[in-house]
Amino acid sequence: MMLEKAFTGLVCGVDEAGRGPWAGPVCAGAVILDPKKVPKGLNDSKKLSAKQREALEIEIKAVAIAWGVGFASVAEIAELNILHATGVAMCRAIGAMAVEPVFALVDGNYRFPLPCEVKTVVKGDALSCSIAAASILAKTARDRLMAEMDRLYPGYGFSSHKGYRAQQHADGLVALGPCPEHRLGWAPVRLALAGKNPMMAASAYDED
127-146, pLDDT tens digit by residue? Answer: 899 999 999 999 999 999 99
Is 206 a domain residue?
no
- Number of structural domains (the chain) is 2
CB 137 within 8 A of CB 69: yes
Is 80 a domain residue?
yes
pLDDT band for position 206 (cuts 50, 70, 90): very low
Is 8 a domain residue?
yes
pLDDT band for position 8 (cuts 50, 70, 90): confident
Give the pLDDT confidence score for residue 109 in this predicted structure: 93
Based on the domain organization, do 100 and 23 belong to the same domain? yes
- Tell me the whole-structure pTM to 2 decimals: 0.94
Q: Where among 111, 133, 149 does a domain terminate?
A: 149
Cα→Cα distances 128→9, 125, 131, 145, 162, Å: 16, 6, 5, 26, 26
Based on the domain organization, do 140 and 175 belong to the same domain? no
Based on the domain organization, do 58 and 127 belong to the same domain? yes
**Residue 182 DSSP class:** B
Domain encompassing residue 139: 4-149
Mean pLDDT of 84-103: 97
Give the pLDDT confidence score for residue 208 in this predicted structure: 40
Based on the domain organization, do 65 and 105 belong to the same domain? yes
Give the pLDDT confidence score for residue 201 in this predicted structure: 83
Give the whole-angstrom CA distance, residue 168 versus residue 156.
6
Non-local (6+) Cβ contacts of 180 within 8 A are: 74, 153
Who has greater pLDDT, 59 or 42?
Answer: 59
Mean pLDDT of 56-83: 98
